[in-house]
Amino acid sequence: MRAIANVHGQILPLEDVKISALDRGFLFGDSVYEVVRVYQGRPYLEEEHFQRLARSLEAIALGGVDLVRLRRRVHDTIAAGPFREAVLYVQITRGASMPRKHAFPKQAVPLELLWVEDYDDAPYEHLRRVGVGVVTYPDRRWHRCDIKSTNLLANVLANQAAHDAGCYEALLYLPDGTLTEASHSSFFWVKDGALGTTPSRDNILPGITRGLILGLAGRANVVVREGHLRRDDLRSVDELFLTGTTSEVLPVTHVDGQPVGSGRPGPITRRLQEVYAAKLREFLSASSY
């Protein structure tokens, strides 16, 4: 099925969407976005994603967006497919203005773009069983990574370095070696039976799946400890895994070519995969939607 877009309420094929060359999202990265997984025609963790979208809009002072109306458009576009297993992309820019200036234009109208496309989970299903390799890479992003903006060039370069090395992801580290997050994922580690995670500050994105896993850790009888892991500490952790909207809970078995723990997905990672799957089943079996 072709991807279907919705621009200001108009539903059309994604390939037919036309956006002004003067749009500030294109010119300046003056825009924010969200990616939502759709299971059986239903957007998962929709409320959490839209809450984060609202925070991002507020953080860059981008007003005039009716998020209630936008959510209706999301549901209309999913139903227009109709899409079952899919990915939803939402992007809000400050709009187009002339002449090109850095300061916020007074007359620009925000651009509200979303699209839905079919999603095949089979490749991720395989990776969740066997695990993936990652590389470490310098964190060269700006200092407001808590805003889900489209300023992603540093992320792109880091992820390309991972792909060039035959790996799935790049773990980002600061000049002192402190690990922050991955190029498009959150990460967790396991040491001495406890689950470790980087504190949610300006230098990491508050991942939606990350938040869900933190909330589910109690179900898995796993203790959570916030703290900082350094690059040199990676050799001493027992398990490592990534979380993300499409990757869900993804084991990491190798870092920079060296095995993590046994070199296979670990027992706590597996336990958290199970509670994630159970939570998703609860969502899909809920009678009201």
| Domains of the chain and any CATH numbers | 4-119 (3.30.470.10), 124-284 (3.20.10.10)
pLDDT for res 32? 98
Specify whether the CB–CB gap between 29 and 150 falls below 8 A. Answer: yes
Question: From CA 189, how far away is CA 80, in angstroms rounded?
Answer: 41
- By DSSP bridging, strand 111-118 and strand 10-13 are unpaired
Instruction: Give the pLDDT mean for 252-267.
Output: 97
Question: From CA 83, how far away is CA 257, in angstroms rounded?
Answer: 39
Q: Burial, 161: exposed, middle or buried (Cβ in 10 Å; 0-12, 13-18, 19+)?
A: middle
Is a pLDDT exceeding 60 seen at residue 148?
Answer: yes
pLDDT for res 68? 98
Is position 148 annotated as part of the catalytic site?
yes
Is a pLDDT exceeding 70 seen at residue 169?
Answer: yes
Size of the chain in residues = 289
Among 105, 5, 125, residue whose Cα is nearest residue 64: 105
Residue 281 phi, psi dihedral angles, 5° rounding: -60, -40
Q: At what angle do helices 208-216 and 267-285 cross, to 10 degrees?
A: 100
Give the pTM.
0.96
The tokens for 182 are 């991955």
- Across the chain, what does the average pLDDT equal? 96
The tokens for 160 are 């390309």
Among 241, 149, 146, residue whose Cα is nearest residue 200: 146
Instruction: Give the pLDDT mean for 67-92.
Output: 98
Q: What tens digit of pLDDT does each residue of 102-122 get?
A: 999 988 999 999 999 999 999
In three-state secondary structure terms, 101 is: coil
Q: What tens digit of pLDDT does each residue of 199-257 get?
A: 988 789 999 999 999 999 999 999 999 999 999 999 999 999 999 999 999 999 999 99
Specify whether the CB–CB gap between 69 and 8 falls below 8 A. Answer: no
pLDDT-derived band at 182 (thresholds 50, 70, 90) equals very high
pLDDT for res 61? 97
pLDDT for res 200? 86
pLDDT for res 289? 53
* Residue of 18, 148, 191, 279 marked active site: 148
CA distances from 74 to 31, 85, 104, 121, 256 (A): 18, 15, 27, 21, 40
Is a pLDDT exceeding 90 seen at residue 66?
Answer: yes
Question: From CA 94, how far away is CA 181, in angstroms rounded?
Answer: 28
Instruction: Give the pLDDT mean for 75-101.
Output: 97
pLDDT-derived band at 142 (thresholds 50, 70, 90) equals very high
Q: Is the dihedral of CA 161, 166, 167, 168 positive or negative?
A: positive
Q: Is the dihedral of CA 147, 150, 154, 160 positive or negative?
A: positive
